[in-house]
Structures are given as C-alpha cells and as structure tokens.
Amino acid sequence: MPNFLPIPSIRLGSLVAAAAGLLTAVALAGAAPAQAAIIATGACDDATLSKPFAAWGDTHDYKLLPGGDFEGSLQGWSLGGATVSTGGAQGSTHALELTPGDSVQTPSTCVNTSYPTFRMFARNVKGAGTMVVSVVYRLPILGPVPVPVGVVALQSGSWSPSATMLTASTVPGLLSNGTAQAALRFTALTGTMALDRIYVDPRMR
C-alpha cells in the first residue's frame, strides 16, 4: 500500500506560509455574514457516492473527482507533463502516468469543513515513486492557495489504495457556509508512477 509520510522539513516553510495566508483570509472576511461559520454535515453537492475502498476496510462514502477515472474528458485538469496510459485500477482501462517533475492538478470540487479526506489508487511503473500532495483552495481575495498535506511513497507495482489523506479544509470552509472549493495537486519527485480513480470524501466523519 502507498505510504502517507509527514511533510519533509524542506516543505514546512511553504506550509507555514499557506497557513498564514488562510488566517489572513479569515481576518479579511470578518465582515462576512454570520452564516459563513456554519459547519456542513452532509454531502456538499449531488455527486454520486460509492464505497470504492470497502474491500480494504474503509466503508465511508466517496465521490469520484470529475475525470478522476481517466476514462473520458479531462476538462479542467492541468496535466503538467503527465500522460494518460492504458490499464487502470478496479477494471478501468486508463490511468494517469507521472514522471519526475510532472505536476498534475485536478478540477476544483467542494469539500466540507470537518475532517474531509481523499484517497486514490496508485502503483509504481518504474523505480521507487514518490510525490508531494497539496490541496489548492480558491479563497476570497487571496485566490488559489496551495496547502502541502504530505508525501506519498509507492511500494508496489500493483494497484493499491493510498492512505487516507486530510484535505485540511477547516479554515477555508468556514469562509463559505461550511464548504470550500478545492483542487488536488500531485507533483512527482522520483520514479515513474500511475494514479487512477481519485476520490474525495465529502461528508463529516
């Protein structure tokens, strides 16, 4: 199974800067209506939910990101050097392949404020694959704000689920009635790897 590792020290400055930006946004949004602090407890859109990780003991509901199975349109995606390859997870026919230096960003989707998570399927194609994972929020005034959430180290050439990763959405979610718009960014560091079926959990845990 791909491992979810702590953010390395080289990334801590970026995380601190991003957190400071989020707090600035909260301060600037002080005049927002009181309902902006409401915490949502249900799905934040009408996306179809499924339990894609039930076989691995995770029975929570998830929604597939737009184009997250790489079987159709990738409208809204920024591939940053990555390519769509044949052969995917859970019987799908395509996946996304990344080599060192590739940086992929998904379309934005809504997440809730309290412990929303995301997972995907991944495998090594060549070498030992590692990638930095960030969540990019669209915030009032500040615009896109990337928040590094960790590093994934792949250990298998077979498709397997990633660890459960947090979207760190509490602060930005409070700015918009309990939900926030977030995109996921994957930046390959070493090895060649493939990603498929990228899901977000839109419900409070």
pLDDT tens-digit readout, 127-169: 899 999 999 988 777 788 898 999 999 888 999 999 999 887 7
Strands 103-105 and 117-139: unpaired
Predicted pLDDT of residue 11: 39
Please give the Cα distance from 89 to 75 (Å, whole number).
21
Domains held by the chain: number: 1
- Mean local confidence (pLDDT), 164-192: 81
State the Cα torsion 62-64-68-70 to the nearest 10°: 120
Which pLDDT band holds residue 203 (cuts at 50, 70, 90)? low
Q: Is the pLDDT score of 99 beyond 80? A: yes
Which residues are CB-neighbours of 36 under 8 A, at least 6 positions away?
29, 174, 175, 176, 177
Q: What is the pLDDT of residue 174?
A: 60
Lowest mean pLDDT among 30-34, 52-56, 66-70: 30-34
pLDDT greater at residue 141 or residue 110:
110
Dump pLDDT digits (tens) for 53-64: 999 999 998 999
What is the residue range of 139's domain? 3-201
Question: Please, how many CA atoms are within 13 Å of residue 106, restricted to the half-sphere of its CB?
Answer: 30
Q: Domain with 154 in it: what CATH number?
A: 2.60.120.260
Residue partners of 105: CB distance under 8 A and separation at least 6: 77, 78, 80, 136, 183, 184, 185, 186
Contacts of residue 198, defined as CB under 8 A and 6 or more positions apart, other chains included, come to 64, 65, 68, 106, 118, 119, 120, 184
Q: How confident is the model at residue 50 (pLDDT cuts 50, 70, 90)?
A: very high
